[in-house]
């Protein structure tokens, strides 16, 4: 991916997006380590009506493509 004539890896792009949404710690978690506080934070921001998370950066929806 190119941004402003600088090479930016997909991983760097993803980490930048996480930083904007204040979810940078999410990149540190794995399936073997589930942080109860992180899960609670997501649960508090879940909206049943739209099936999305309401975050400070806007509405976030997890798609099947994201999961794969």
Reported as a single tens digit per residue, the pLDDT across 9-68 is 777 887 787 888 777 777 776 666 677 888 888 888 898 888 888 888 888 888 878 776
Which of 5, 6, 27, 33 shows the shortest CA–CA distance to 15?
27
Domain range for 26: 2-67
Q: Enter the pTM of the model.
A: 0.46
Plot region of 16 (φ>0 → left; ψ -120 to 50 → alpha; else → beta): alpha
Structurally, the chain folds into a number of domains equal to: 1
């Amino acid at each position: 991916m190119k941004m402003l004539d600088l090479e930016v890896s997909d991983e760097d792009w993803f980490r930048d997006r996480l930083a904007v949404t204040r979810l940078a710690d999410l990149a540190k978690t794995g399936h073997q380590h589930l942080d109860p506080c992180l899960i609670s934070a997501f649960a508090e921001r879940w909206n049943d009506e739209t099936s999305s998370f309401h975050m400070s950066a806007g509405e976030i929806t997890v798609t099947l493509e994201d999961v794969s």
